[in-house]
Structure 1
Amino acid sequence: MRLSTRNQLDGTVTQVTRGEAMAVVRIRLAGGDEITSSITRDAADDLGLADGTPVKVLIKSTEVSLGVE
């Protein structure tokens, strides 16, 4: 599959926490950093996400905000 999304990172699922409607998925990137994604539980189930699943993280956003005091 070819995608227009330019920010594509290879990683491996390290943890899937399923809630009632959403799932929080932790991914270890190829360089060792970790990223977290919140997706619907149905999407996590449809993709068969579990510890050790190789994934491609696709990031398409107009804004990424963080803040600390």
Structure 2
Amino acid sequence: MKISARNVLNGKIVGIVRGPVTTEVTLEIAPGVQITSTITSNSAQSLGLKEGGVAYGVIKASSVMIGVDD
């Protein structure tokens, strides 16, 4: 797999919540560290995602904002 994004995190699929339009996929990228993505249900089906499987979280953003409470 070759992509332009520099932040590619491989992990184990630990959760899938399927909906009629979107599916929420949770990856464990390190012990106790999880990331969650919402993708189309069609994409989840075509990728053959299943709990316990391996997938990549690809993060590409033009900006990252940081905030704190007053």
TM-score range, shorter chain: 0.7 to 0.9
- Where does residue 41 of structure 1 map in the other structure? 41
Given that residues 12 and 55 in structure 1 are in contact (C-alpha distance below 8 angstroms), is that contact kept between their aligned partners in structure 2? yes
Question: Between the two proteins, what is the percent identity of the paired residues?
Answer: 38
TM-score norm. by structure 1 comes to 0.85
Q: Which letter maps to 1:57?
A: G
- Where does residue 58 of structure 1 map in the other structure? 58
- Cα distance in 2 between the residues matched to 1:67 and 1:25: 25
**Higher mean C-alpha displacement, 57-66 vs 42-51:** 57-66
User: Cα 1:66–1:52, aligned 2, differ >3 Å: closer, same or farther?
Assistant: farther
Given that residues 5 and 59 in structure 1 are in contact (C-alpha distance below 8 angstroms), is that contact kept between their aligned partners in structure 2? yes
- Cα distance in 2 between the residues matched to 1:19 and 1:3: 28
Residues 15-34 of structure 1: pairs in structure 2 closer than 5 A: 15-34=15-34
Which ranges of structure 1 fall in alignment gaps of 5 or more residues?
none
Residue 46 of structure 2 aligns to a residue whose secondary structure is helix
**Higher mean C-alpha displacement, 58-67 vs 28-37:** 58-67
